[in-house]
Structure 1
């Protein structure tokens, strides 16, 4: 005879929201999976700081590691930077609705390559986030994705523009050109298999 565990399966979103994350780690809910990663390194933090400093505060809220809610998804990603019109978000709370976000930024690390270029690309497109900027210090490039389309795992961005570090990234939705000349890279790391 086979033993069956008939205890009710907890709702993953409720479980995630009550999860106690160890110090030095952060957790994200991505399509029903809880992903826990170590805190970022200095290269990552300096890139995020540089991007944030180039986006005018008077017009845009620039929020680091803000959890966002994606309608129709079992996902609560935590992008490295979230940009929305100043004052457009709620006054309090843990989750920011994806529909009010203009841009999300992810800085690629050795352990986040597939999530940032693959799963999160689909999740942010499904949430209709107008622009997604992937900054890759291993490849020395930025990839700006715009014009989201589709639903669920089939969602994607229609426009993809790649810019090498040292050149400017035109982010029309924000009315800014990001200077990438001071973005640090991660030397000595084997190039990943993504673009």
Structure 2
């Protein structure tokens, strides 16, 4: 798609539009809950790990076989170094994905298998619609050997990435969808 075509295109309201280097246009629906949950994750990262901790949000991480991802949040090793313009999956200690209405299957199934296959130590699924955070640990070639669910409103959740630090997610402060008004 040319720059002129992009500038003339009206993209639907409520979608994030990403442009890949290979000419792909990726449109992802965004909700207020999705955005606010990512903001909460980022805030809790700063509180837990400090403002200079190496984290990414919606930034591509290089995986083998062109399976690159731009997770909602990634916590990296402190000694991580960019390879070119990106970090490698081997630098990632924790990935968090926030479920949106259109991404539940991808976040719960596809990403669990992918991140486990690539040995990401902790995969966190935060689901504002189910009111839960699911922590996957002990990666295997097909997913994760250990999975624990935690309900929103159950207080601080301490998650320990492989480097010994503690990331604390405040389950009392995560946003929930508002009931639809009629």
**TM-score, scaled to structure 1:** 0.72
2:102 match:
111
Q: Paired residue for 2:3? A: none
Which residue in the other structure is 1:5 paired with?
none
1:169 aligns with 2:169: no
State the partner residue of 1:149.
140
User: Counterpart in 2 of 1:57?
Assistant: 50
Gaps (5+ residues) in structure 1? 1-19, 29-33, 190-195
| Partner residue, 2:34 | 44
Name the structure 2 match of 1:182.
173
Contact 2:89 2:118 in 1 (8 A): yes
SS of the residue 2:36 aligns to: helix
Q: Residue 146 of structure 2 aligns with which residue?
A: 159
Structure 1 CA distance, aligned partners of 2:58 and 2:74?
A: 8
Indicate conservation of the 8 Å contact 2:134/2:148, yes or no: yes
2:92, 2:120 within 8 Å by CA — same for their partners in 1? yes
Q: Deviations over 1:138-185 (max 9, x none)?
A: 0000001011111xxxx1111101000112222012413211111111
Indicate the residue corresponding to 2:117 in structure 1: 126
Paired residues, what number? 158
In the aligned structure 2, how far is the partner of 1:54 from the partner of 1:92? 29
CA distance in 2, matches of 1:80, 1:146: 18
- Residue aligned with 1:86, SS: coil
Give, in whole Å, the separation in 2 of the partners of 1:37 and 1:120: 18
CA RMSD, 1 decimal: 2.5
Shift of 1:41: 2.3
Structure 2 length-normalised TM: 0.76
Structure 2 spans left out of the alignment, 5+ residues: 1-5
Distance 2:66 2:82 in 1: 21
